[in-house]
Structure 1
Amino acid sequence: MWKACLVLAFSSTAIVDAFVATPIRYTRSFSSKKISWNHVVINSAALLPPDDFQSEMDQLIPSDISTNIEQDVADPPLLQQQQGPSVTTGRLLVLAAAALYGTNFATVKVLDEHMPVQWSAAYRFSIAAAACLALTPSEVWKKKDSLNALLGGAQVGFWYALGYLCQSYGLQTVDADTSAFFNAASILVVPALDVAIKGSKFTWNQAASLLFAVGGVGLLELGPSASFNFGIGDYLCLGQAFLFGVGYWVLGSVSVKHRDAAEVVTVGQLLSIAFGFILFAGVGDWPTATEAISWATDPLIVGGILWTGLVSTAMALYLETIALQAVSAAELTIIMASTSIWGSAFAFLTMGELPPPAGIGGGILILIGCLLSAFQKEEEVETVM
């Protein structure tokens, strides 16, 4: 009798284990993002789920659910991944930055007529650097590569500082619209550096673009007297174009390397530029108290410094840094060629400056040469990719 009771108790335990413990094990298998009906084990080896029971359970739960869950675990949602702007957004950001840069030529020329170049630039970039430092979230500085991003931005700022120095002194003897058209030649620097440093091939398109650019520079110097007058200001404007081109080229690699630290890269650029101009201003003549007060109380000077510091410098550099996460340096220079058009338009609206017909033709030739070079480079990049 006791043997029969023992067998009955054992059988009851096995049945409970089969129909109670089994769903728990199915649940555990499901919560681990992987469902495997073949690995269901019941403590009582004598009682296994019948084949028809397993088939019914398979029909209740879609067969691809475990595959989808595993893929979700392996590939986190797109919103959780670091994403840069789209190519279209990047191009629009560059266009906006080019329009802001275009206002610099006339504004800087006005500032330089009312105060020394080195001091207007020192105030301008110090304000820009301070604003970017204040607006940069503290969490950004805690990232591991924040120091490298800052140093990368400082490297770009070194080239930009030299370019802005050439721009400021060149505008003392050259019209703002002419300086703006000269600046378009910076687009030729990026493919030239690719050829010289990266070993890219120099194509016929790039050779043709150089010819157009040289011809455009020549026409820019044809005034009403139809004679060339290439002075120190023109050389400084060409130096500005070269130095800005080097800055674009360096910034292209820095922005891609530090995609999630655009603010830090921008701060590095502005700190480097501001430090350079403060050092340059410090070794020269210091303003008197009367001059300093007159600068601080002149609405034209204060407005010009705030505009060039906060808007056409800090904001433009930030937009440019963000855009380079989506577009190449060569494509950026395509759109940056429009800076000369924006600059000439702004100079005409604010100062009434309009180049002669020969100068307008020269600007068009420069733009054609720039576009030929940049479009060729863009095709080469697409072919490699």
Structure 2
Amino acid sequence: MEKTKKQALLADLGLVAVAFVWGSGFVASKNALDSMSPMMLMAVRFTVAALLSGLIFRRSLKNISKETIKAGCVIGFFLFTAFAAQMIGLQYMLAGKQAFLTATNVIMVPFIYWAVKKQRPDQYNFVAAFIMLLGLALLTIDFSVGFSFNPGDALTVLCAFLYACHIVVVGIYSKQHDPIALTVIQLGFAAAVSLTYVFISGEFTLAIPVPGLLNGLYLGIFCTFLAFLGQTVAQRYTNSTHAAIILSLEAVFGSLLSILILGDNFTSLMFLGCLIIFIGIITAETKWAFLKPLFLKTKPENPEKITEI
């Protein structure tokens, strides 16, 4: 079916909504951590998302192969470890700051893929990596006390790396297995490991305050299940450049919402670091392809035949 302008517009609006919801997830996570441990929050989030996806896409799980289950568990491992690092790290830092640090995963992906598939990144990826390092320095280093790098910063950079690994393995396995089945399995794996951990560690509790429970449900339903589903559907009707630019707004929304809702205090250097990282993300994701039409000039085939009306 031919894509229409209306479908493309609706798809772009849908991606904006996804970016906004993902950005709001940093605020919801920060609020939820006031009521429960990071691993208990993950257990709530992934259990809700896994149950919803399993119920709605249960037909995709019929006659599933062992290879698909294994692939889904590998993807789920990276999903779980990435979010574990993120949730634990969020206890030590501003939500908006973490939003930008997490977004650096898009710059890491080509280099991880290079290591796995031996496909060298292009010049834009190398430029983006340099820009990212500059932005990271401004965003994370407290120059007033010297070169300090707090535990939250380190864990969030680890989260970005693990999520970049997650993106790479999804790209590899989704070409060999049913993507919907892989999604259900990875969410189920993350939920199972989270629940196992909180039971063994004694962190499991049903006595969760209502605000914390509501934030956890929001993360599971909107930021995990519906957001991933919305991204998949929307990207069928828009080009990858638009999708990359719009989804990169997740970091922007995360920072703005953390300032407006949580009252995060950003310094001028942190703002500059966020801006530089955003430029790096756009460079890696789009290679500035969206600017090319502005520099292309169309010339009439036979200028001499043009007359004034």
Whether the TM-score (by the shorter chain) exceeds 0.5 is: yes
Deviation at 1:333, TM superposition (A): 5.5
- 1:147/1:354 CA distance change after superposition, 3 Å: farther
Is the 1:221–1:228 Cα contact (8 Å) retained in structure 2? no
Deviation at 1:176, TM superposition (A): 0.3
The 5-angstrom pairing of residues 246-325 of structure 1 reads 246-258=165-177, 261-287=178-204, 292-293=206-207, 295=208, 298-322=209-233
- 1:369/1:178 CA distance change after superposition, 3 Å: same
Output the TM-score relative to the length of structure 2.
0.80
Is the 1:331–1:378 Cα contact (8 Å) retained in structure 2? no
Quote the residue 1:178 is aligned against: 97
Is the 2:23–2:251 Cα contact (8 Å) retained in structure 1? yes
Tell me, in whole angstroms, the C-alpha distance in 2 between the residues paired with 1:122 and 1:176: 20
Is the 1:128–1:309 Cα contact (8 Å) retained in structure 2? yes
Quote the residue 2:305 is aligned against: none
- 1:376/1:266 CA distance change after superposition, 3 Å: same
1:294-327: CA deviations, max 9, x gaps?
x1xx220121111011111111222344466678
SS of 2:170's equivalent in the other structure is helix
Tell me, in whole angstroms, the C-alpha distance in 2 between the residues paired with 1:161 and 1:183: 15
Is the 1:222–1:359 Cα contact (8 Å) retained in structure 2? no
- 1:160/1:182 CA distance change after superposition, 3 Å: same
Tell me, in whole angstroms, the C-alpha distance in 1 between the residues paired with 2:267 and 2:170: 35
Quote the residue 1:169 is aligned against: 88
Among 196, 205, 208, the residue aligned to 2:115:
196
SS of 1:182's equivalent in the other structure is helix
SS of 1:115's equivalent in the other structure is coil
Deviation at 1:275, TM superposition (A): 1.4
Quote the residue 2:254 is aligned against: 343
Tell me, in whole angstroms, the C-alpha distance in 1 between the residues paired with 2:16 and 2:111: 23
Tell me, in whole angstroms, the C-alpha distance in 2 between the residues paired with 1:248 and 1:178: 22
Is the 2:141–2:149 Cα contact (8 Å) retained in structure 1? no
- How many residue pairs were aligned? 286
Is the 1:331–1:374 Cα contact (8 Å) retained in structure 2? no
Q: What RMSD over aligned residues (CA atoms) do the two structures have, in Å?
A: 3.2
Larger radius of gyration: 1
1:206-227: CA deviations, max 9, x gaps?
2221111011011112558374
- 1:268/1:310 CA distance change after superposition, 3 Å: same
- Matched AA of 2:155: L
Tell me, in whole angstroms, the C-alpha distance in 2 between the residues paired with 1:328 and 1:192: 23
Q: Say yes or no: does 1:154 pair with 2:73.
A: yes
Output the TM-score relative to the length of structure 1.
0.65
Q: Quick one: higher RCO (CA 8 Å, sep 6+), 1 or 2?
A: 2
- Matched AA of 1:216: G
Is the 2:111–2:120 Cα contact (8 Å) retained in structure 1? no
Q: Give ranges in structure 2 of 5+ residues lacking alignment.
A: 291-309
Tell me, in whole angstroms, the C-alpha distance in 2 between the residues paired with 1:127 and 1:334: 29
Quote the residue 1:117 is aligned against: 38
Deviation at 1:170, TM superposition (A): 0.4
Deviation at 1:112, TM superposition (A): 1.4
Is the 2:107–2:281 Cα contact (8 Å) retained in structure 1? yes
Is the 2:34–2:212 Cα contact (8 Å) retained in structure 1? no
1:100-157: CA deviations, max 9, x gaps?
211121111121122111112112211111122222253x334x66765554443322
Tell me, in whole angstroms, the C-alpha distance in 1 between the residues paired with 2:83 and 2:194: 10
The 5-angstrom pairing of residues 1-385 of structure 1 reads 93-138=14-59, 140-142=60-62, 149=68, 151-222=70-141, 225=144, 227-258=146-177, 261-287=178-204, 292-293=206-207, 295=208, 298-322=209-233, 334-376=245-287
- 1:169/1:122 CA distance change after superposition, 3 Å: same
1:155-212: CA deviations, max 9, x gaps?
3222111110011110110110110010111011221123223332343322221111
Is the 2:95–2:255 Cα contact (8 Å) retained in structure 1? yes
- Matched AA of 2:122: T
Tell me, in whole angstroms, the C-alpha distance in 2 between the residues paired with 1:134 and 1:193: 34
Tell me, in whole angstroms, the C-alpha distance in 2 between the residues paired with 1:160 and 1:95: 23
Tell me, in whole angstroms, the C-alpha distance in 1 between the residues paired with 2:288 and 2:117: 13
- 1:186/1:94 CA distance change after superposition, 3 Å: farther
- 1:324/1:270 CA distance change after superposition, 3 Å: farther
Tell me, in whole angstroms, the C-alpha distance in 2 between the residues paired with 1:108 and 1:96: 18
